Amino acid sequence: MIGAIEILIIVIIFGIIYGRDAIDKTFKKHAEEGVVESFAVDVRDFYKKDPKRLVLLVAGGLGGFVFVGLVIYWAFTRFDLPKMIGL
């Protein structure tokens, strides 16, 4: 039976191999361009294509962030996590 560590190692290897291929195929920016500059250009192009989709994406991201925050708050208040971690 294959253990969890072996499966994790296999997934990481495939992620590295196929991740580099995907990056090489989709990389259309200049090499000297920073991450923020590239992201700004992508957001601008995304907004030009369909402004409503960008608004929905931001609302979904904000909703997901609030949901994760509420789950963490619930876990802290329900299971006394501050006591467990020594706070």
Task: Please give the Cα distance from 66 to 59 (Å, whole number).
Answer: 10
| Alpha-carbon separation of residue 35 from 16, 46, 81 (angstroms) | 20, 16, 36
In this predicted model, which residue has the larger pLDDT, 60 or 47? 60
- The model's pTM is 0.46
Identify residue 47 by its one-letter amino acid code.
Y
Region 3-7: mean pLDDT is 79
Domain ranges for the chain: 4-85
Longest dimension (CA), the chain: 51
Average pLDDT over the chain reads 76
